[in-house]
């Protein structure tokens, strides 16, 4: 055989081996995380039950329904809108595994963009998963991509045009769930998921919707609640309540000219009161150093410490970082405070729950203390 | 559109494999092998 | 010095040793540099990371590969040569105007698609022989084509770096048109005359006309022969204007164009032509794949954070200097990557300025990354379309224009509020 044929075969075989090794690693992300049904869960449904167009697609996702014994208000909690923002995902899971409603109904979607959990963003160097130690052994959770997996929605257009407003963004935002609201039944997979969530809110007459996020420490809207104008009073009462607990949080009005986001469109297109919450996640930032599981869990990062000293950040940042339990704790406590504020103003239609993990408990015992053993 | 793009990708992949086996330059063979990996994994809808 | 510093030195060192001492191709040197970084940096699952990084460029690879197929088909059909003859014949009396117009023509595909590569490989390839006929040297023609291509990529309506920077600070891509026109078109006129005026002024028109070959043109006719380029242009415009109906995307548009070249001019073997185009473009595709690996490992090991935070560490007075130096340098790896990784933090550091004008100017500086080796997409392809084997001579010609572009963009940032006041 000619020499160049042999080298060609060797190179081709090398490509196949690299593809097989990497492919096996990529495929390992397809398995969904274990989420244990807690004592408050009355039903586990799929989003496709509200919008059948999602049935059998990678966008269909679990909706945990937690109905209290008495009627009252309802709340939708969205975790995992951006699967690379783990505090939102985990806060939703803590509600599913711990909380028991007395009056009213909770709807919890822990993996709002289910497709995004099956991949990582290229060139971000992110870990595929992280492990939380619990009294019953380790629990593993996916660290996904900010956007829908391209194998489920491809190719991206050059420019993303938001359907109902015509606003343009860079093409990759087409796969960003939080730029697609209110969604379209005949749109992209991401728009269909948005549409499904809107249908759930409309059909169940959801009173309050909370979209849980995290942000880079260099991003101005951080440790914040962003509220639609009609949810402003509720959100400002919540901020006061959190201040009383020494949790500093800012309140931002939903910008009118930034379209496709949950805090804007869910308020404009449905009767729900939408708010979005942000905590500080170093593992998604542009200034971060070594990117691995430890960074996701602890938020400790020397470059962010240095950037804070240079005045480049919008949150305090020191050697202690912002660990996952603090970020999850902020979300969980803020949701609980949101319910308190609602109940004070609307005693006739309360939303009362038990078993919400408390902030101090999360800080001292960690997230793992509130995760149930696999059944 | 998804499947149309998979076909386009398959064409580019096939041509790249052809070049790999046709060229006599080792450097081009290695380069072709590098390009094949992402194209193949996308074609198989793995990544 | 931090561990990240030494990792960065190692990665750059391996790359330089591979490229310059051992004369390996850029793609292979990048692969080895990324691998060395991954191993020395203790990255877990290194093969997964190396392969994952390449996926940042899958769409770009398809665009470049199909654009190259189209360009090769258009040339093999005889249309390229015929188009040169037709245009020169029509406009040879006004060489200065012709230079400026041709420069604008090169910009158009970039303006519509946001890709400098699309500009160089379509309009750039069409215009290159016209420049040659007008007496402009191949090196000057290559330099002008690459400048026009990056100006086209930044000129409105589509400017992807500006969208990326805007996306990072939640600023919608609205109101950018006028600042971008002011940033790009004056520069285009200046550089068109800079590279062309001395030569075309003394152009010997009779000699030029005599050297042109009109045989293909008279055999097939202009409309039929040039219809693929018209088709591509129409599809690009429709993709922009009515994306819901004609949102085909660049690779599909180029494939349609390639097939049309097969039936509109001289017959040629389309399969051989496509294979030849992949063979020609493979080194560039390999660079992209290698760069993807390199960025992924830089990010995973913290080298990226080291670079960004150090770039932001300068005192405020030196911030502009840092913008001028670091964004184009990082653009050596990827212009779009630079817009995201450095453009967004710098934009946040510039929050007191007029945001739209500052972001528009930063996007122009980021685009300079397409001149920076080893990726240097605009320069590499421009050298290809004018027929140069190596692009080093083109790069030398680009040094002064690059400095002018950067200074012009920085002035826009410094005086953003004053510019806003008059807009």
Per-residue exposure over C98-124, b if at least 16 CB sit within 10 Å of its own CB, e if not: bbbebbbbbbbbbbbbbbbbbbbbbbb
Chain B residues closer than 8 Å to C24 by CB: 27
Q: Over the stretch A297-326, which tens digit does the pLDDT of each residue have? A: 999 999 999 999 999 899 999 999 999 999
Pairing of the two strands A273-280 and A208-215: parallel
Distance CA A368, CA A356 (A): 14
DSSP of C208-228: HHHH---HHHHHH-HHHHHHH
Rg, chain A, Cα only: 21
Q: How far is B19 from chain A (nearest CA, A)?
A: 10
Cis peptide, bond prior to residue C293, ω within 30 of zero:
no
Predicted local distance difference test score (pLDDT) of residue C311: 85
Mean pLDDT, rounded, for A204-223: 96
Mean pLDDT, rounded, for A337-343: 98
Count of structural domains within chain B: 1
Alpha helices for C92-137 (secondary structure H)? 95-113, 116-119, 125-133
pLDDT higher than threshold 90 for residue A100: yes
- Could you tell me the pTM of the whole model? 0.91
Banded pLDDT at A137 (limits 50, 70, 90): very high
Mean pLDDT, rounded, for A67-92: 98
Q: What are phi and psi of A201, to 5 degrees?
A: -60, -45
Inspect the interface and report whether the beta carbons of A11 and B33 lie closer than 8 Å. yes
Q: Over the stretch A11-24, which tens digit does the pLDDT of each residue have? A: 999 999 999 999 99
Cβ-based interface (< 8 Å): residues of A facing B:
4-5, 7-8, 11-12, 14-16, 18-19, 22-23, 26-27, 119, 150-151, 153-155
Predicted local distance difference test score (pLDDT) of residue A149: 98
Chain B residues closer than 8 Å to C27 by CB: 30-31, 34
Q: Over the stretch A116-133, which tens digit does the pLDDT of each residue have? A: 999 999 999 999 999 999
Mean pLDDT, rounded, for A287-299: 97
Predicted local distance difference test score (pLDDT) of residue C167: 73
- Measure the CA dihedral A241/A247/A252/A253, to 10°: -20
Collect all residues with Cβ–Cβ distance below 8 Å to C38 and sequence separation of at least 6.
Answer: C46, C49, C50, C297, C300, C301
Taking alpha carbons only, the member of A49, A73, A77 closest to residue A61 is A49
Domain containing B9: what range?
2-43
| Domains, in order of start, for chain A | 42-370 (3.40.630)
Burial zone of C352 (CB within 10 Å; 0-12 exposed, 13-18 middle, 19+ buried)? exposed
Burial zone of A369 (CB within 10 Å; 0-12 exposed, 13-18 middle, 19+ buried)? middle
Inspect the interface and report whether the beta carbons of C289 and B35 lie closer than 8 Å. yes
Q: Report the number of secondary-structure helices (H) and strands (E) in chain B.
A: 2, 0
Mean pLDDT by 10 residues, chain C (423 residues): 92 88 88 97 96 92 90 89 84 86 89 85 89 90 96 90 82 86 97 88 79 87 91 89 84 95 94 93 88 92 92 86 92 83 86 91 95 89 92 95 97 95 87
**Cα separation values, C363 from A154, A182, C308, C398, Å:** 26, 30, 17, 18
Predicted local distance difference test score (pLDDT) of residue C336: 83
CA atoms within 13 A on the CB side of A324: 26
Q: Which residues pair with A278 in a beta bridge?
A: A213, A224
Chain B residues closer than 8 Å to C65 by CB: 12, 15
CA atoms within 13 A on the CB side of C213: 9
Query: What are the extents of the domains in chain C?
Result: 3-422
User: CA C312: distance to chain centroid?
Assistant: 26
Residue window 105-134, chain A: list those with CB within 8 Å of chain C.
120, 122-125, 127-128
Predicted local distance difference test score (pLDDT) of residue C122: 84
Banded pLDDT at A180 (limits 50, 70, 90): very high
Q: Which residues pair with A353 in a beta bridge?
A: A101
């Amino acid at each position: 055989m000619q020499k160049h044929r042999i080298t060609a075969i060797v190179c081709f075989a090398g490509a196949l081996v690299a593809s097989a090794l990497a492919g096996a690693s990529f495929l390992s992300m397809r398995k969904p995380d274990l989420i244990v049904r807690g004592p408050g869960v009355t039903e586990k449904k799929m989003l496709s039950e509200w919008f059948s167009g999602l049935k059998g697609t990678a966008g269909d996702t679990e909706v945990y329904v937690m109905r209290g014994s008495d009627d009252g208000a309802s709340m939708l909690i969205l975790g995992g809108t951006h699967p690379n923002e783990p505090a939102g995902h985990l806060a939703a899971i803590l509600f599913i595994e711990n909380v028991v409603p007395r009056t009213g109904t909770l709807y919890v979607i822990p993996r709002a963009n289910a497709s995004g959990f099956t991949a990582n963003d290229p060139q971000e160097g992110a870990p595929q998963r992280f492990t939380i130690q619990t009294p019953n052994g380790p629990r593993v959770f996916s660290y996904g991509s900010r956007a829908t997996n391209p194998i489920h929605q491809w190719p991206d257009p050059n420019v993303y045009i938001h359907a109902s407003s015509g606003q343009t963004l860079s093409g990759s935002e087409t796969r960003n769930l939080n730029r697609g609201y209110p969604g379209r039944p005949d749109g992209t997979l991401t728009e269909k998921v948005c549409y499904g969530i809107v249908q759930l809110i409309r059909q169940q007459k959801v009173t309050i919707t909370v979209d849980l996020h995290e942000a880079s420490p260099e991003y101005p809207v951080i440790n914040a609640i962003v509220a639609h104008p009609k949810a402003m009073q509720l959100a400002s009462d919540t901020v006061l309540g959190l201040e009383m607990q020494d949790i500093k949080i800012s309140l931002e009005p939903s910008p009118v000219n930034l379209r496709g986001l949950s805090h804007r469109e869910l308020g404009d297109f449905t009767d729900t009161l939408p708010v979005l919450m942000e905590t500080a996640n170093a593992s998604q930032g542009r200034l971060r150093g070594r990117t691995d599981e430890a960074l996701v869990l602890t938020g400790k990062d020397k470059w962010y410490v240095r950037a804070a000293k240079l005045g480049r950040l919008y949150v305090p940042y020191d050697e202690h970082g912002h660990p996952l339990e603090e970020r999850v704790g902020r979300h969980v406590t803020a949701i609980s405070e949101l319910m308190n504020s609602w109940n004070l103003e609307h005693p006739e239609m309360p939303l009362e729950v038990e078993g919400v993990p408390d902030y101090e408990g999360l800080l001292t015992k960690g997230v793992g203390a509130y995760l149930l053993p696999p059944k | 559109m998804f499947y149309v793009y998979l076909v386009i990708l398959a064409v580019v992949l096939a041509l790249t494999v052809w070049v790999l086996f046709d060229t006599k330059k080792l450097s081009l063979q290695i380069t072709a092998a590098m390009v094949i990996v992402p194209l193949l994994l996308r074609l198989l809808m793995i990544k | 010095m931090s561990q990240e510093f030494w990792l960065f030195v190692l990665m750059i060192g391996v790359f330089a040793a591979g490229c310059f001492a051992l004369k390996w191709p850029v793609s292979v040197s990048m692969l080895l540099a990324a691998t060395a970084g991954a191993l020395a940096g203790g990255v877990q699952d290194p093969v997964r990371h190396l392969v994952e990084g390449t996926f940042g460029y899958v769409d770009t690879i398809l665009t470049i590969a199909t654009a190259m197929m189209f360009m090769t088909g258009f040339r093999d059909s005889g249309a390229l040569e015929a188009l040169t003859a037709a245009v020169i014949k029509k406009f040879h009396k006004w060489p200065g105007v012709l230079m400026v117009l041709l420069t604008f023509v090169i910009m158009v595909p970039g303006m519509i698609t946001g890709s400098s590569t699309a500009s160089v490989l379509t309009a750039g390839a069409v215009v290159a022989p016209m420049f040659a006929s007008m007496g402009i040297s191949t090196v000057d023609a290559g330099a002008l084509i690459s400048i026009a291509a990056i100006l086209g990529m930044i000129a409105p309506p589509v400017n992807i770096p500006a969208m990326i920077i805007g996306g990072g600070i939640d600023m919608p891509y609205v109101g950018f048109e006028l600042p971008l026109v002011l940033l790009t078109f004056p520069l285009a006129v200046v550089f068109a005359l800079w590279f062309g005026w001395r030569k075309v002024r003394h152009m010997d028109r009779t000699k030029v006309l005599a050297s042109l070959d009109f045989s293909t043109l008279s055999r097939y006719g202009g409309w039929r022969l040039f219809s693929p380029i018209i088709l591509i242009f129409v599809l690009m415009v429709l993709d922009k204007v009515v994306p819901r109906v004609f949102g085909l995307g660049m690779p599909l548009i180029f494939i349609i164009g390639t097939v049309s070249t097969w039936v509109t001019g001289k017959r040629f073997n389309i399969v051989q032509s496509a294979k030849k185009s992949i063979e020609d473009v493979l080194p560039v595709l390999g660079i992209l794949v290698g760069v993807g690996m390199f960025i992924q490992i830089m990010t995973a090991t913290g080298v990226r954070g080291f670079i960004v935070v150090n770039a932001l560490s300068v005192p405020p007075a030196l911030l502009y200097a840092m913008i001028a130096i670091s964004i184009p340098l990082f653009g050596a790896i990827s212009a779009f990557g630079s817009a995201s990784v450095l453009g967004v933090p710098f934009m946040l550091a510039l929050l007191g300025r007029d945001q739209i004008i500052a972001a528009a100017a930063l996007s122009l500086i980021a685009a300079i990354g397409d001149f920076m080796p080893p990726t240097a997409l605009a320069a590499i392809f421009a050298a290809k379309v004018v027929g140069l084997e190596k692009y080093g001579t083109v790069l030398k010609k680009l040094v002064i224009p690059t400095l002018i572009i950067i200074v012009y963009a920085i002035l826009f940032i410094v005086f953003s509020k004053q510019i806003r006041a008059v807009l």
